[in-house]
Structure 1
Amino acid sequence: MKIIDAHMHFSKAIPSFAPMAERVGHLYTEEHLQAEFARLNIERAVVMGNGSIRPECHQYPDFLRYCIGLDNKVMEALPDAHILDLLEQNLQRESCVGIKLYPGYNHVYVGDARFFPLYELAAQYDKPVAIHTGSTANGMGFLKYCHPLTVDEAAAQFPKTRFVMCHFGNPWLPDAAAVLEKNANVFADLSGLLEGLFDLDELFEENSGYFSLLRTWLGYAGGYEKVIYGTDWPLVNMEQYIHFMQCLIPEKHHEKVFYQTAKHVYHL
């Protein structure tokens, strides 16, 4: 089975990623990534860009693509023409497959008018906007900005723009499913649902109620047609997360979730 990991992180500018990778049995190097991808049949991955929005700061090996991420400094400058020009320069590159927004960490709703030129650019270049939804990784985030229902407002106003709700809005699973079901231009990735190393049998036994709900709402959202595999690496071990998703997702949907939908949404 071929796999696309549609949500990972790989930036040497963030030193904390290296020990994270080591804690889950990986090395934070290009050589290690390439070897693991070959071993696990991962054809390609999408790096959720961190740091500068200057195109020259985003150089990745051929087996990786990236979404250009907007941090707080960029957010404060929008809709500055220079910022929009830099974003467009990224979108003009084959290696850049979309834009990444971080509501929750950035205290702005995705329906804010300052984002509208970004959504128009994304539609112009036929590349999606990936949006952090669900819980934040630290206490500095504001959850009201990253609730999955906020994506509905942007998706309804920009029907020609594709949106990806990262992390399936976890833990607001019914709300994320409702947004997916309503909006033809919204998809969701399944990254970051777990963190660290785990025993798969023990995990499913101790969290059977949660996984039952997750399966229910994934099915409600359209029979897995709009669901994308992703890991949020280096937060998890790649092989373990693949096995986790193989157990969670019905086998008849594996090809769509692990490969086809990401290939379509991100034009990989």
Structure 2
Amino acid sequence: MSAPHAPRTVLLTGAAGGMGTLMRRLLPAYGYRLRLLDLVPVEDGPDADEVITADLCDRDALRQAVHGVDAIVHLAGISLEAPFLKILRSNIEGTYRLYEAARQEGIRRIVFASSNHAVGFTPRPVAMPVPDASLIPVGAPRRPDTFYGLSKGFGEDLASLYWDLHGIETVSVRIGSCFPEPTSVRMLSVWLSPADAARLLHAALTAEGVGHTVVYGSSANTRLWWDLSTARALGYEPQDDSEPYAAELIAEQGELDPANPGHAHLGGHFCTRPPIWPH
């Protein structure tokens, strides 16, 4: 896919979160003017052109945030397991309201932060390195491992619906673990370096004709579990690999054990937790 000129102004939701903090520092180098939105105040926010502190369920504030932007990178929401009613409001209702605001304001491109936990109960490959034919494809059946993972599957379907009904294009990125460096043996396979995350978001914002595309989000890890071909088709060229961290992490934690439920599936320890019920 060829890349047109990058959007000038991008709304970054969840700008105060872990990945949001990393991206608001890296994305401007690609020529973006960022408008920041989060439920909590954004530290060092004055570096951005605009900072909005508001809930995604605040309709008026959301319309204000979306008005006039060229695209949206949607990172906001609860990023771990939580009681269903909290997930419902933040991740499901909040994402719906964002898409409605985008529709009303004529926004045509969204990058949605999905998660590998939408397919968390998929068995992970055991052989290392994984043969290309055994890499987990984006078309694998969704098998959420938590209410959190369930909400990400909803977001992907919502994005598909808004493409078919309203012509809003979305790249849904099933993010692995975006940290400055991997901190576990599992993360050696799903790590997305901050620099590669910015490369992937830029590709997702600029590729032509994406319709609704689902991609996995990770670096070019030697121990990679999933297929990055749909991400590469956007123009994404990952530059980093977790392998330099492997020897130390394996010495500290040991290799993954296929007999351990927390090691046997893509979602890791998320697959070992019962749902969190509301009290």
Q: TM-score, length-normalised on structure 2? A: 0.39
Q: TM-score, length-normalised on structure 1? A: 0.40
Structure possessing the higher radius of gyration over alpha carbons: 2
